Chain A
Amino acid sequence: MPILRFDGVAKSLPYGFWLRHKPVLHDVSLSVEPGEIYGFLGPNGAGKTTSMKCLLGLLTPDRGTIEIFGRNGSEPAARQKLGYLPEQPYFYPHLTGRELVDYFGRLFGVPRATRLQRTAVLLERVGMAASADLPIKQYSKGMLQRIGLAQALINDPELVILDEPMSGLDPIGRREIKDIILELKEKGTTVFFSSHILGDAEVLCDRVGLLFEGRILTESSVQGLLEERVQYWDAACEGVPDNALNGFVHRTQQGGCLHFRFDDVAQLDRWVDAVREVGGRIVQVAPHRVTLEEHFRCNSAGSAARRGASLFVETPAPLRANRRRPADRSRRLPKRHER
């Protein structure tokens, strides 16, 4: 049974003087299984924070349901085993770091002795033991993020929701947060985190959900997503007689090496056979995968194109032609409820 489930969640929010409603989430369906690290990815403004607010009961969805541990997400009791790190943590400036963590522990009903002990351990773990007794108003952004993480773990949660946990951190801070996330996974804790930094997700996540303009575009394992998306193959060979491979369009010649680029594996197979036939030597065959970053850009560009706008810088023609393909494929992916 999924530990967290969004089913057709839609939400519109008021804007402007007349408070007209603008849809932010159209149809968000996803599920997070126990013990996995789930990356909730999307560019700025995709609706990640709005989805998280719906999940935490801060916003009431217009349609759809959210279940946490099999309970309706709007029930406060459903959040007993949940830890949450808000985006750009906003905490009471009048409290010290230690007081804040202790306060949130009390809200979870953690007994005093356990609270004190856990607070000390967590402050140590996030590297805040030395600054724990300073008022929060004196904290830097990185310190806020660390204290935020400590408070998110005070109830020994089974599900941790992290909203942009690595934004605004230096490389060392990012590394430490990543280590903590991986440690949580080792302990069997489920982690659901949002990010627009796709590199982090590629390293950390078991599965990702890609949110774009309030809709989930794809939900799959990171590995699956990467394997699916071999964009083209780069191949090179040498020792081939002149005109032997005329049937293939070669891109460049470097020294005695001929470089080729193939869009599909069948074409590559034919090329391999041809090289062997003429007694040539294959020097390189390398698949070029679409990174999540490129995947995003494809979807963004595809969507922008539909609106008749151009969001991104022009890319060279052959690459652009190739890049459209994964975008089209992902748009064809069935939505969850259609599967």
Chain B
Amino acid sequence: MIDRVTAIAVNTFREAIRDRILVLFMAFALLMMASSTILSLLTVGSELKIVTDLGLAALALFGTVIAIFIGIILVHKEVEKRTIYAVLAKPVPRWQFLVGKYFGLMMTLAVVVGLMALFYLALVWWKSGSFPSHLLPAVMLSYVELSIITSVALVFSSFTTPMLAALFTVAVYVVGHLSWAFSTLLDFVPGTVARILVGTLYYTLPDLETFNVRSRVVHELPVSGGYLLDALGYAAAYTIGMLVLAALLFRRRDLT
């Protein structure tokens, strides 16, 4: 089982890194980080903060764009291009195919985020004169957030077209960053139905703000190990839930 999942993951990874579009995205991300050094000239006294802030934002933004861009076509492309036929004609259960695709994209993202992070940390190191180890939790949590976004994209990719999947995934991403608003809303909405609706949304949509510690690390506030572990656990549980959902949706789907 592990070997099959690994084989599918490696193939997905190969496909992504042999695609020029990924290089293009990476180039944009690095360009945005580099341009932050020029932008920082416009400020007085807080050049380092601009570089740190913009760099982290670029890393999170481009990571998300790549996760969504590849995630939404992850399964759909295989069905559309009919490459899935030869794969599922082998003794490969469908859920293993999905898990393999998921980990393939996570491997790709690890390389992309890793390269962006190296460039970013080197840039900040050069600007500040000391290694910015306090930024590592933010970089790590950005990657962990991508694991959730990828799993959501996979769910949508397993039953709908890339266009709709992109729309839904972006919606989940945006609402996921605002999910704290639902908990506030819960105290104010009148009526049971509305409360159930808001409550359901609050508990089913991912709370992506958990993974946003950018403003804290930029101000050099500590992020505790316990917090990191909690966030990791939450991401793992949510991702597993999404993978199970994707597998259930894909299990009996007719591949015409």
Contact B86 A59 (CB under 8 A): no
Known: A94-B15, A95-B11. A107 touches B256 (CB 8 A): no
**How far, in Å, is A147 (CB) from chain B's closest CB?**
11
* Contact string against B for A residues 57-95, beta-carbon threshold 8 Å, 1 for contact and 0 otherwise: 111100000000000000011111010101001111011
Contact B252 A60 (CB under 8 A): yes
**How far, in Å, is A269 (CB) from chain B's closest CB?**
54
The answer to whether A139 has its CB under 8 Å from any CB of chain B is: no
Contact B82 A90 (CB under 8 A): yes
The answer to whether A104 has its CB under 8 Å from any CB of chain B is: yes
Bound Cα distance A108, B86 (Å): 12
The answer to whether B115 has its CB under 8 Å from any CB of chain A is: no
Known: A57-B88, A58-B88, A79-B90. A109 touches B4 (CB 8 A): yes
**How far, in Å, is B254 (CB) from chain A's closest CB?**
5
The answer to whether B44 has its CB under 8 Å from any CB of chain A is: no
The answer to whether A103 has its CB under 8 Å from any CB of chain B is: yes
The answer to whether A56 has its CB under 8 Å from any CB of chain B is: yes
Report the interface size for chain B: residues with CB under 8 A from the other chain.
26
> Contacting A107 at CB < 8 Å: which of B82, B84, B91?
B91
Closest to A50 in B: B256
Bound Cα distance A94, B15 (Å): 6
> Contacting A82 at CB < 8 Å: which of B19, B89, B256?
B89
The answer to whether B163 has its CB under 8 Å from any CB of chain A is: no
The answer to whether B219 has its CB under 8 Å from any CB of chain A is: no
Contact A58 B15 (CB under 8 A): no
> Contacting A104 at CB < 8 Å: which of B19, B81, B84, B90?
B90
Known: A58-B255, A107-B7. A76 touches B92 (CB 8 A): yes
* Contact string against A for B residues 54-97, beta-carbon threshold 8 Å, 1 for contact and 0 otherwise: 00000000000000000000000000011111111111110000
Query: Residues of A contacting B93 with CB < 8 Å?
Result: 76
Closest to A80 in B: B91
Query: Residues of B contacting A78 with CB < 8 Å?
Result: 91
Bound Cα distance A92, B3 (Å): 19
**How far, in Å, is B204 (CB) from chain A's closest CB?**
28
* Contact string against A for B residues 1-39, beta-carbon threshold 8 Å, 1 for contact and 0 otherwise: 001100110010011001100000000000000000000
Known: A90-B82, A92-B15. A56 touches B89 (CB 8 A): yes
Query: Residues of B contacting A103 with CB < 8 Å?
Result: 7, 11
**How far, in Å, is A64 (CB) from chain B's closest CB?**
15
Query: Residues of B contacting A311 with CB < 8 Å?
Result: none
* Contact string against B for A residues 154-170, beta-carbon threshold 8 Å, 1 for contact and 0 otherwise: 01000001000000000
Query: Residues of B contacting A86 with CB < 8 Å?
Result: 82, 85-86, 89
* Residue of A14, A94, A148, A155 most packed against chain B (CB within 10 A): A94
Bound Cα distance A94, B108 (Å): 15
Query: Residues of B contacting A84 with CB < 8 Å?
Result: 85-86, 89
**How far, in Å, is A312 (CB) from chain B's closest CB?**
29
**How far, in Å, is B78 (CB) from chain A's closest CB?**
9
Query: Residues of A contacting B91 with CB < 8 Å?
Result: 76-80, 107-109
* Residue of B4, B7, B89 most packed against chain A (CB within 10 A): B89
* Contact string against A for B residues 93-112, beta-carbon threshold 8 Å, 1 for contact and 0 otherwise: 10000000000000000000
Query: Residues of A contacting B89 with CB < 8 Å?
Result: 56-58, 79, 82, 84, 86, 161
Closest to A99 in B: B14
Closest to B14 in A: A94
Known: A56-B85, A90-B82. A109 touches B3 (CB 8 A): yes
Which positions in B face A, CB cutoff 8 Å? 3-4, 7-8, 11, 14-15, 18-19, 81-93, 252, 254-256
5 A-B pairs within 8 Å (CB atoms) are namely A84-B89, A90-B81, A91-B86, A107-B4, A107-B87
Interface pairs A-B: 10 shortest CB-CB: A106-B7, A90-B82, A84-B89, A107-B90, A58-B255, A94-B18, A56-B89, A76-B91, A80-B91, A76-B93
Which positions in A face B, CB cutoff 8 Å? 13-14, 53, 56-60, 76-80, 82, 84, 86, 89-92, 94-95, 99, 103-104, 106-109, 148, 151, 155, 161
Known: A58-B84, A106-B7. 20 other contacts (CB 8 A): A13-B254, A53-B255, A56-B89, A57-B89, A58-B255, A59-B255, A59-B256, A89-B86, A91-B86, A94-B15, A94-B19, A99-B14, A103-B7, A104-B86, A106-B3, A107-B8, A107-B90, A108-B91, A109-B91, A161-B89
